[in-house]
Structure 1
């Protein structure tokens, strides 16, 4: 035994029944000195002689903290009995914070979802996970990826621009707007995540990539002395099968591992003839250093996945009531995607382009990340993270019409609108049979997009915990650096099909001077294919930050600042095949300030408030060239956010009530809109917005087995500036409700569990002009399961889950391609409904 040390040992148990808690953490506050309990709940921890503050925590239980006095060379026995924490209020916040503060004691609003909840949602999109969070509007009508996520009335376009996604403290992507791919295309949820935290406000938003509006952070399971193994098999109607695996444990006394992954095949949820297929594998190895004073963890990911993406399509319009229409075959049309439109090819200046649409949203590649932290003897803590990522990525999609008419057409109208002879004939490509005179036609476009991406990220910081007067400080100074590069090569082409599910390709022929002319060949509109974009965008970011997290009497205080320099590099071909390029560089600086405070009113109630002044660097793709080599101006968009509220935590009841105020100035909003000639173009609009809102969350356990919960957000958001369209000032922000919420009930007795929830989304408008109203809708979700023990530590759960239980046809959006020109009149309305009801069956083995 080292000189000047002693030993603290004992047992950690459940207070209700005395059962041991294996894997509980026992650690010295403000240091990395700690250990975990063994399979029988026992622990042993070497401590310096003298008085130390020791905490004991375990997920789902209330943390205990006590002072112990250790004598040199002696052993002090100390047992702990932890009581259940039904609301996880005492879980330690890990997202970008350096003091071990719990949710309840953090001066910010946050939402946590633990592994048990995530386990039931591994196959779902980020929208299904995030729509349960107060203040977030999440749309998942497109499928598993590219969810549209809006937070607190910010006009983000839905691509996580104000709510970056992190995995283990490092952003999936550090730069926004190199192209329009959402960041969730680069990873999938699996069983290997310990929890998800969404934090808003406080200095936590200054670290890492930085975002004053909020950060979504997924923390991976890392191995411990207690092995954890899990296999989950899933089936769903519509031809879905998925297998997930998790394995974690100990390699030796100081080395631990965790591995997770999945393989999945899916022909649904909508039948298109296209398939979602692929998988992902993630893992980490953690090495403890110098008797637990430090750790080195190596993380890795490999993904090879293809996902079908659903866009808006023509819906039946009955005086503003939108519903799924009937097709030529008399059956309900759920989508106009079709596997018959996958074999087209056409010439470009750079060779023949072959259709990529069968790949859907394709991502192949991964990342390697290293995480090092060390607690020095003088109480300085060093943390270093670095990541390299490289992905081959395509975002191929069916658009929502031909860009001119955009709705199903009568055969005679189709010919007249395109100047074709009235005696032209329509035949099915697959059979050669003519169409019936009453059959509708639907001309659509496909957009293929190649978007490979590479990124290098590094973060370095030092923190020190110290007492100054009667206050305890946790001071952090650090730097964040990244370089991200992404291509954007786009190809667009058109085809003609009839109007039904999985439209059949249609050929149009006519006679001209005795010669047969083909307007389409195999359904492909002759001459419609072209390459429309050949770009490379990159961004280099360097930031420094300084923050202090303070504990003083009943107060927890945050204060911090961040300064960041961003430099963007733009390369765009001026006319495809011209071999001439516009090249430009833009750069700017941003400054952020955050302050937050919490007052401990009692053991059951805390008051909190926070304020932040932040920035957002405009999307590089929004920057145009004024003349060759000369770009538009580039300056940060300013965000101000303030929040105040109260947290309540009792034995059976927890609640959070808060009000917030958010403004955003001179936002460069980028949209893909129809150009009127069958193509699409990027349209930039400069906007400012303001939102005032109220968020409330409550959860009540009637018994330890029965829980009622819910949340409500009411907000007043509006445009305060719209360049070029002053008439839109005062309008609602597009696609965002002024009222939304959720109600749920859950039961779990350890054998049988069941839950029912209902998410409500209020009225919205489809565009900035507010010319198209979208009615309120709700999504109900049912989950139930039965668990049986297979041994002392082994179990099996058979569960069923139903998404959209009531089979709602709520409309999440109109046609982004039509934008402000879209109206609510006519026989058809182009919109995207939520996905229809789907039933999942899951078998989960734990051992």
Structure 2
């Protein structure tokens, strides 16, 4: 590296933008880097997640997965879901796009928003308390080339330390600077005008200080073309200083990004594959940029939709990590993190809650008959004339064209969060037993708003549909009713204005012991949550589309002339649950190549604050911690050519406050959050293996099977007796298998991710088939000089362009039916070919 450029890099490392990276939880200065080709758990990589002592895989009595930086870069085609889908025991589905992936861990029912598997960067949770609203935590921080490896640890004491993680901890561990400058730059292109530039730099600053900085910029109009584009950037970085017996690191992150989120659409009702639209082409998305100009009147002035922003986030995080050996086997660790984000989320709801399926023009009039003086039962087309025109051109909509009605919920969800952790560790030898005690405390606070406005619209049934204006005239009276204006059929059909604040206090004590061939981990945690919620009540008032310059004998429908809005009155509630967790692990080394392990825990999950139900007297519905008991036992092995593990597991969950976003009871109304109480029982098995076939060629694979049932289910949304049913959206089987060729001049990978059958709802009335996503990655490495390398690569996501429904319409809950002409759900993303040019030094 030439001197002038080196100075520029070092100067950038201390700029405010370069400080943008999340908080580091566990020091990796003394640990070995994960092998860059790692996918399955590696016995030679030191795992630091969910423990206070780093251990190699063969000596870790929990199940862990480590994925190195090169593999992470290869896997990240569309979203974090593409990475997490390769991890044993996880179902990760990214059909919605780059963010808000649905992630499920075996044995635990959830809505898929990382409820039991928090995302951490360097051991610090992205948001100190989840569940204040339903936004997914992968929106706020994204992995990039600055990540050294990903660790996922499940079971054992992983739920005790720091912020905890009941189902497992997803932890991205960043690279830190060393004594030499290193860097990587890449630019990626794909169909639908995708361009992404990434970089990562790290090295020395001087006087014992080191830097690391990374980031990306991306513009993308796909993979489903709707007229909404993804555009934005992220910058992250850290500065570390090593001193006698300790290390201090500061971190920072800045992000400003917008990306579309693909909602549920009508699929073919028999095949659950993309349906054919009016123009004869497959309908892959019904989202449309024609909605970008939508506006209507409210008591607070004119409402302008933010649908064009998609999922938008702008904000920052800063953190610090301090470690010091204070002598005589004692060490001190402290860390803190703060973050503040502005965030909006435009959600397409998968139906207008009136027709909910593509419909003929006559059937549309019948469904909306109550808005022009008739009823669905008595409507007679012969008594009316109608007009259907395209809103943008005024041209008549062909009479044989189907219409599709949907709703958009504009969500404003700004939040701020802060957390801190302090602990003392003590190494002690008692006889033949080596102890490592950890006594720690944790505090986290999060405040978030949930301000939602829902409106409904109608368009033709095609990709990125055109909006449709509709009116109907009573022949006998001559009265005309406008049912759709600029595509709008309902203005302000739903309104939410909630605030939530969460404070978490925890203390924990653990002892990690080693005695000869035995390793024992035991520990406990106590935690208290102080939660405050505030919900504004609503009212139906005049508003919406203003009735100006209407012709004589013409009126607006009730959906256009009335609006649901806030009353100005708020219901408030407070909760203060507390609970405890215990965990115990044991591992026995049969030999240097084989270990047996078992872990068991009694943990808890603090209910999501958005599930708090308040009555008119500010009383709060019962709000108790949800108890989760887990056990796992198995074997780990390693030889010169093959390594892996196999295990069985069992889990029970008691009194989960399950939250479902379900259509409201009134036709056309917005979805509402419905809470019901469930308990579950699950057992299963998982295994993984890495085998060297010949030099440079390895086979890697993992598979997880589970069988789960509800043991308690309070009636909700058509599921009056679901005890004994399987959990919705949880696959019975997931697997990943691949061949990986690695040579210093050429590399290639061919691997498949399979997601097994799932039920669309707790009623178990519709079962979706499994699907495969095959990936191909090939690359050529060109040495330049010294340690400089240029790599040219190509990646094909969904190589065979397979199709498969990943979910039904969650908004319809158990009320969705099979056997209809159309089925509302979401398909996996289509094939995409990406090319990348990288330079590393």
TM-score of the pair, normalised by structure 2 = 0.89
What is the CA–CA distance in structure 1 between the aligned matches of 2:54 and 2:84, rounded to whole Å?
Answer: 25
Query: Which position in structure 2 is the counterpart of 1:47?
Result: none
Bigger Cα displacement from structure 2, 576-585 vs 303-312 = 576-585
Query: Which position in structure 2 is the counterpart of 1:374?
Result: 324
- 2:589 counterpart of 1:595: no
Call closer, same or farther: CA 1:338–1:120 in 2, change over 3 Å.
Answer: same
Q: Deviations over 1:341-363 (max 9, x none)?
A: 11111222322210010011111
Paired residue secondary structure (1:120): helix
Paired residue secondary structure (1:578): strand
Query: Which position in structure 1 is the counterpart of 2:281?
Result: 331
Alpha-carbon offset, residue 160 of structure 1: 0.8
| Match among 435, 438, 442 for residue 476 of structure 1 | 438
What is the CA–CA distance in structure 2 between the aligned matches of 1:184 and 1:530, rounded to whole Å?
Answer: 29
Alpha-carbon offset, residue 311 of structure 1: 1.1
- 2:621 counterpart of 1:632: yes
CA contact (8 A) 1:348 1:531 kept: no
Paired residue secondary structure (1:769): coil
What is the CA–CA distance in structure 2 between the aligned matches of 1:826 and 1:61, rounded to whole Å?
Answer: 48
Query: Which position in structure 2 is the counterpart of 1:298?
Result: 250
Pairs aligned (count): 771
Q: Which has the higher contact order (CA 8 A, sep 6+)?
A: 2
Paired residue secondary structure (2:279): coil
| Match among 253, 265, 279 for residue 313 of structure 1 | 265
What is the CA–CA distance in structure 2 between the aligned matches of 1:235 and 1:608, rounded to whole Å?
Answer: 45
- 2:339 counterpart of 1:389: yes
- 2:726 counterpart of 1:732: yes
Alpha-carbon offset, residue 60 of structure 1: 3.6
CA contact (8 A) 1:190 1:262 kept: yes
Query: Which position in structure 2 is the counterpart of 1:161?
Result: 115
Paired residue secondary structure (1:163): coil
Alpha-carbon offset, residue 301 of structure 1: 0.3
Query: Which position in structure 2 is the counterpart of 1:524?
Result: 488
Alpha-carbon offset, residue 57 of structure 1: 4.6
| Match among 92, 95, 115 for residue 69 of structure 2 | 115
What is the CA–CA distance in structure 1 between the aligned matches of 2:690 and 2:264, rounded to whole Å?
Answer: 36
- 2:830 counterpart of 1:836: yes
CA contact (8 A) 2:330 2:427 kept: yes
Unaligned runs of 5+ in 2: 1-25, 373-382, 539-564
What is the CA–CA distance in structure 1 between the aligned matches of 2:638 and 2:221, rounded to whole Å?
Answer: 45
Alpha-carbon offset, residue 229 of structure 1: 0.7
Query: Which position in structure 2 is the counterpart of 1:682?
Result: 673
- 2:510 counterpart of 1:547: yes
CA contact (8 A) 2:599 2:632 kept: yes
Query: Which position in structure 2 is the counterpart of 1:464?
Result: 426
Alpha-carbon offset, residue 515 of structure 1: 6.5
Alpha-carbon offset, residue 627 of structure 1: 3.1
Query: Which position in structure 1 is the counterpart of 2:164?
Result: 210
CA contact (8 A) 1:212 1:641 kept: no
Alpha-carbon offset, residue 422 of structure 1: 3.3
Call closer, same or farther: CA 1:423–1:641 in 2, change over 3 Å.
Answer: same
| Match among 658, 679, 702 for residue 711 of structure 1 | 702
Q: Deviations over 1:691-712 (max 9, x none)?
A: 1000010110012300011111
CA contact (8 A) 2:41 2:57 kept: no
- 2:740 counterpart of 1:722: no
CA contact (8 A) 2:348 2:408 kept: yes
What is the CA–CA distance in structure 1 between the aligned matches of 2:779 and 2:228, rounded to whole Å?
Answer: 31
What is the CA–CA distance in structure 1 between the aligned matches of 2:767 and 2:186, rounded to whole Å?
Answer: 42
Bigger Cα displacement from structure 2, 679-688 vs 602-611 = 679-688
| Match among 804, 807, 815 for residue 809 of structure 2 | 815
Query: Which position in structure 1 is the counterpart of 2:151?
Result: 197
Call closer, same or farther: CA 1:218–1:323 in 2, change over 3 Å.
Answer: same
CA contact (8 A) 1:489 1:531 kept: no
| Match among 694, 701, 707 for residue 692 of structure 2 | 701
- Matching of residues 392-411 of structure 1 within 5 Å: 392-411=342-361
Query: Which position in structure 2 is the counterpart of 1:353?
Result: 303
Query: Which position in structure 1 is the counterpart of 2:498?
Result: 535
Query: Which position in structure 1 is the counterpart of 2:645?
Result: 656
Query: Which position in structure 2 is the counterpart of 1:617?
Result: 606
Alpha-carbon offset, residue 58 of structure 1: 5.5
What is the CA–CA distance in structure 1 between the aligned matches of 2:464 and 2:519, rounded to whole Å?
Answer: 58
- 2:522 counterpart of 1:559: yes
What is the CA–CA distance in structure 1 between the aligned matches of 2:388 and 2:32, rounded to whole Å?
Answer: 71
Paired residue secondary structure (2:819): coil
What is the CA–CA distance in structure 2 between the aligned matches of 1:694 and 1:329, rounded to whole Å?
Answer: 47
Query: Which position in structure 2 is the counterpart of 1:749?
Result: 743
Paired residue secondary structure (1:323): coil
CA contact (8 A) 1:811 1:833 kept: yes
Alpha-carbon offset, residue 381 of structure 1: 1.0
Q: Deviations over 1:488-517 (max 9, x none)?
A: 000000111000001001111344655654
- 2:460 counterpart of 1:506: no
Bigger Cα displacement from structure 2, 96-105 vs 710-719 = 96-105
Paired residue secondary structure (2:364): helix
Alpha-carbon offset, residue 518 of structure 1: 2.8
Call closer, same or farther: CA 1:294–1:444 in 2, change over 3 Å.
Answer: same
Q: Deviations over 1:624-662 (max 9, x none)?
A: 113322111111000000000000011110010000001
Alpha-carbon offset, residue 61 of structure 1: 11
Paired residue secondary structure (1:627): coil
Bigger Cα displacement from structure 2, 446-455 vs 712-721 = 712-721
Paired residue secondary structure (2:365): helix
Alpha-carbon offset, residue 88 of structure 1: 3.6
| Match among 405, 408, 429 for residue 443 of structure 1 | 405
